[in-house]
Chain A
Amino acid sequence: MNQEIRVTNYPEVLTDRASHYCPGCHHGIAHRLVAEAITELGLVDKTILIGSIGCSVFIYNYLSLDAIESPHGRAPAVATGVKRARPDKIVFSYQGDGDLASIGMAEIMHCANRGENITTIFVNNTVYGMTGGQMAPTTLVGQKTTTCPGGRCRENEGMPIRMTEIIASLGGVAFAERVAVNNIKNIKKAQKAVTKAFECQTKEIGFSFVEVLATCPTNWRMTPIQANKRIETEMIPYFPLGNFKDVLAKEEK
């Protein structure tokens, strides 16, 4: 007889409702990682979510936290205001690659450089998902999008930006890691990284940043399985996974 066994539960902060994300989209996994991290660290009661503009604009429907919506790209500035007003709270922004690495480049750089005790979850899917898959600063060379139909070309559009490496180079940063959620092994690592990032915030040692390499099957014109494979075959070779800065680990040594 087949029996349904529940293999996992909803962390208390993750709402039990159907999401608006496309099948195979990694935003949902990234949400869950955040939910698990703040639940594990016992921070749910004191966490404030800074939303951004992109497919994750409705993140407040999935994480039951006090939340504020930011203009496109400005989440790190909004987060700075919230954290300065409420230094005893846990504050994190959740942003896509168009939001963070293009229009919001100034805000993320200076927030990180000031060493604000804030955590940023950066979901890099190499396109502007919500607006229909246009080219992002992270679009890979040769990748076709609706605004680079012939494929991104280095001569015209430049090279894709590697944010985690840039963020790690800034003085105010305590933690910077790039993760993927395309398989169990990577998800486990991602979970550790997100938890560590929030831990840095509780210890007030500076800005913490986790880049999540994510699928956008819809705009990549791929099936979820093909999209998942593309993370491994195309994205990770250009956006290497790993930790680029960990002040905590250094201190522990």
Chain B
Amino acid sequence: MSTPKRIFVKGNEAICHGALTAGAKCFFGYPITPQNDIPEFMSAAMIEAGGQFVQAESEVAAANMLLGAAGCGIRALTSSSSPGISLKQEAISYMAGSEIPGVIVNVSRGGPGLGDIGPSQGDYFQATKGGGHGDYHLLVLAPGTVQEAYDLTIKAFDLAFKYRNPVMILADAIIGQMKEPLVPWIPQGLDPDEGQDWGLQGAKGRAPRLLKSLFLDDGALAGQNEKLAAKYRAMQVETDQELFLTEDADLIVVAFGSIGRIVKSTIRKLRAQGHKVGLVRPITLFPFPSAVLLDLARQGKRFLTIEHNMGQMVEDVRLAIRTVADSAFHGQLPGNLPTPDDFEQPILKALEG
């Protein structure tokens, strides 16, 4: 195998490379900005890789195609942006209930409603609190760089199959549209028998398999929901975050995805001026790095949550540290591309306390 070279690609394309290298065999899409690069790229690349590409009639259909394909125990994905992700929620809820490991990519944009096509983190609640109906969670991964978009797409498939649970990659227009160097790597040890012990394949020489989310018998749904809850607890070990200069920091900024990375630049600048600021950038939004935050809070640090929305993740930050501290909040309005300078004053203000 040749050593992977550095390539210069958009985040959207990095997600495609990640999915293909992870062994994805089916892609189901529908046009919507700012994720169009993904179905466009996949329409050729998936076929070249010997897989299947379907431009569905709607996001509703695309997500249900994913329900079917992933139900066969093969690696499959769909991608969309905010309004389309809303339409996928019915199927996502069924995937969670039927324990089907579909991967869903949201290159999110501004909302509510038709919103705009610019960057926004307004879908945090939808991604992390269920999104569709019922008592469930997705694993949610939030890339902050193009490299991470690639890495986390590979990880998304591993986690989806490990837990038989749908996984969402929550990117945004910045990550999706930004070009950066990417060093592709080939995951080792993909299990050729993955999903074959439960996926649909025709009941030859064995009892039939059934993937369903309907549990009408007395106590049956209770049992299923308990099983799911145990799975969500087990997922806590997957918690991942980037810690940047947190050790000696007086103030911890919590920011995810593209905003986390922009804030990192602000922090570098403020550090050069002698301000003791650090960053926690959650990489997994579910499970959320609550323990890491609580630990920092117990060290007496103060908190500022910065998001590209009017305040969503800040609720999880506050919940995590509630016994010892609180978090200030700065919300970046949609409709523009924030720069490191935009976050200087909010951070200085929080530093003053």
**A contact set with B: CB distance below 8 Å:** 44-48, 50-51, 57, 60, 64-71, 74, 77-86, 89-90, 106-107, 109-110, 114
Contacts of B68 in A (CB 8 A): 50, 68, 70, 77-85
Across the interface, name the chain A residue whose C-beta is closest to B28: A81
Known contacts A74-B64, A81-B26, A81-B68, A66 near B203 by CB under 8 Å: yes
Closest to B205 in A: A45
Contact A81 B64 (CB under 8 A): yes
Binding stretch for chain A, among B207-215, B234-242, B312-320: B207-215
**Residues of B close to A44: CB separation below 8 A:** 203
Interface 1/0s, chain B 188-226, versus A by CB < 8 A? 000000000000111111011111111000000000000
Residues of the A chain whose Cβ atoms lie less than 8 Å from the Cβ of B201? 48, 66, 86, 89
7 CB contacts below 8 A, A to B, read: A69-B94, A81-B71, A82-B72, A85-B26, A85-B76, A86-B72, A89-B201
**Within the assembled complex, what's the spacing in Å between the Cα atoms of A68 and B71?**
8
Pick out which of these stretches binds chain A: B53-61, B274-282, B299-307, B340-348: B53-61
* Cβ distance A39 to chain B, nearest Cβ, rounded Å: 13
Known interface pairs A60-B210, A85-B25, A85-B72; A45-B204 also in contact (CB < 8 Å): yes
> Which residues from B are CB-within-8-Å of A70?
64, 67-68, 94
Contact A74 B200 (CB under 8 A): no
Q: How far is the CB of B136 from chain A (nearest CB, A)?
A: 14
Tell me if B65 is interfacial: C-beta within 8 Å of chain A: yes
With A66-B208, A106-B57 in contact, do A81 and B69 touch (Cβ < 8 Å)?
A: yes
The answer to whether B33 has its CB under 8 Å from any CB of chain A is: no
Contact of A46 with B71 in the complex, beta carbons under 8 Å: no
Q: Is the CB of A85 within 8 A of B214?
A: no
Q: Which one of A46, A50, A80, A86 lies within 8 Å of B54 (CB-CB)?
A: A80
Prevailing SS type, chain B contact patch: mixed
Interface residues of B in 50-97 (CB under 8 A from A): 52, 54, 56-58, 60-62, 64-72, 74, 76, 90-91, 94
> Which residue numbers of B lie inside 8 Å of A, CB to CB?
25-26, 28, 52, 54, 56-58, 60-62, 64-72, 74, 76, 90-91, 94, 98, 200-205, 207-214
C-alpha spacing A78/B200, complex, angstroms? 12
Looking at the assembled complex, report how far the CB atom of A16 sits from the nearest CB atom of chain B, in whole angstroms.
15
Contact at B26–A68, with CB atoms within 8 Å? no
- A68 and B203 alpha carbons, distance in the complex (Å): 13
Could you tell me the distance between the alpha carbons of A208 and B59 in the complex, rounded to whole angstroms? 24
Residues of A within 8 A of B72 (CB): 81-82, 85-86
Leading 10 A-B pairs by shortest Cβ distance: A81-B68, A81-B65, A77-B64, A81-B69, A110-B57, A46-B202, A78-B68, A45-B204, A85-B72, A82-B68
- Taking the closest CB of chain B, its distance from the CB of A75, in whole angstroms, is 8
Q: In the complex the two chains form, what is the Cα distance from A127 to B136 in whole Å?
A: 33
Most buried by B among A48, A70, A85, A109: A85
> Given A69-B94, A86-B72, A78–B65 Cβ distance below 8 Å?
yes
> Whose C-beta in chain A lies nearest to the C-beta of B73?
A85
State the CA gap A223–B29 with chains docked (Å).
48
The complex places the Cα of A74 from the Cα of B66 at a distance, in Å, of: 11
| Docked CA distance A106–B59 (Å) | 11
Question: B57 to A60, Cβ gap below 8 A?
Answer: no
Q: Nearest Cβ distance between residue B51 and chain A, in whole angstroms? A: 9
Most chain A CB within 10 A, of B26, B70, B94, B202, is at: B202
CB distance from A61 to the nearest CB of B (A): 9
Please, how many angstroms separate the alpha-carbon atoms of A44 and B211 in the complex?
18
What residues of A have a CB within 8 angstroms of the CB of B69 in the complex? 81-82, 84-85
Q: Are B71 and A82 closer than 8 Å at their CB atoms?
A: yes
Apart from A80-B54, A86-B201, list 19 A-B contacts with CB within 8 A.
Answer: A45-B205, A48-B202, A60-B210, A64-B208, A66-B208, A67-B211, A68-B210, A69-B210, A79-B68, A80-B61, A80-B68, A81-B67, A84-B52, A84-B65, A84-B68, A86-B72, A89-B201, A106-B61, A114-B54
Chain A nearest CB, measured from B301 CB (Å): 46
B57 (CB) vs chain A CBs: closest residue? A110
Instruction: Return chain A residues, CB-CB under 8 Å to B25.
Output: 85
User: Is there an interface contact between A47 and B202, defined as CB atoms closer than 8 Å?
Assistant: yes
Contact partner of B98 among A46, A65, A69, A89, CB < 8 A? A69
List the B side residues contacting A69 at CB < 8 Å: 94, 98, 210-214
- Are A106 and B58 interface neighbours, CB within 8 A? yes
By a CB distance below 8 angstroms, the chain B residues around A46 are 202, 204
Q: Measured between alpha carbons, how far is A83 from B54 in the docked complex, in Å? A: 12
Q: Provide the bound-state CA to CA distance between A74 and B89, in Å.
A: 13
Task: Check A65 against B203 for contact (C-beta < 8 Å).
Answer: yes
Q: In the complex, what residues of B have CB within 8 A of residue A74's CB?
A: 60-61, 64, 67, 90-91
Contact between chains at A67 and B56 (CB < 8 Å): no
**Min CB gap A52→B, angstroms:** 11
Q: How far is the CA of A245 from the CA of B60 in the complex (A)?
A: 29
Complex-state Cα separation, A86 to B71, whole angstroms: 11
- Taking a contact as CB atoms under 8 Å apart, the answer to whether A84 and B202 are in contact is no
